[in-house]
Structure 1
């Protein structure tokens, strides 16, 4: 049992994370970032929850680039095969649920 105050979490590097749980190969991690990630497609599905801050999420649908602004509490679900990239607007803290060892 532990309590994690996500608003106080800061990694030593952008996209650094704290693994919270691994439940039968599905991980839940808290990430801190202030720089964009990279375009990628996860191995499996991903749940991306903005806990603190704002993130502009770019994704491709039908080979067309789209984007959405995610605020505190907003959730982005990347289905299997969804190419996407997160661009924080300032600092952001993000909860990510995905298959273990996914990109």
Structure 2
């Protein structure tokens, strides 16, 4: 049994992560960042939950670029083939659940 205090977590680099669990090939990781990621498509589905801070998520849907502001408590689901990139607005802590080894 472990307790993770997400608001206390800070990585030494943008998108640094704390591994929480790997269950049947699905990882749960806590990320800290203050910098955007890069456009990517995961190797499977991804659940992206903002625990602390704000993140502007950019994504492409039907060939059109869109964006949405995610606040603490919001969850973004990237289905198979969803191209996306996260832009934190200052510091953010994000829980990411995805296939092990995914981009």
Q: TM-score, normalised by structure 2?
A: 0.99
**Divergent runs of 4+, >4 A:** none
Alignment partner of 1:12: what SS?
Answer: coil
Partner Cα distance (2:43, 2:73) in 1 = 24
What is the number of equivalent residue pairs in this alignment? 103
Partner Cα distance (1:4, 1:46) in 2 = 21
**Counterpart in 1 of 2:54?**
54
Partner Cα distance (1:25, 1:64) in 2 = 32
Partner Cα distance (2:24, 2:78) in 1 = 20
Deviation at 1:78, TM superposition (A): 0.1
**Counterpart in 1 of 2:44?**
44
Partner Cα distance (2:72, 2:44) in 1 = 24
Partner Cα distance (1:88, 1:31) in 2 = 11
Matches within 5 A, 1:1-103: 1-103=1-103
Q: TM-score, normalised by structure 1?
A: 0.99
- In proportion to residue count, which structure has more strand? 1
Aligned Cα RMSD in Å?
A: 0.3
Unaligned runs of 5+ in 2: none
Unaligned runs of 5+ in 1: none
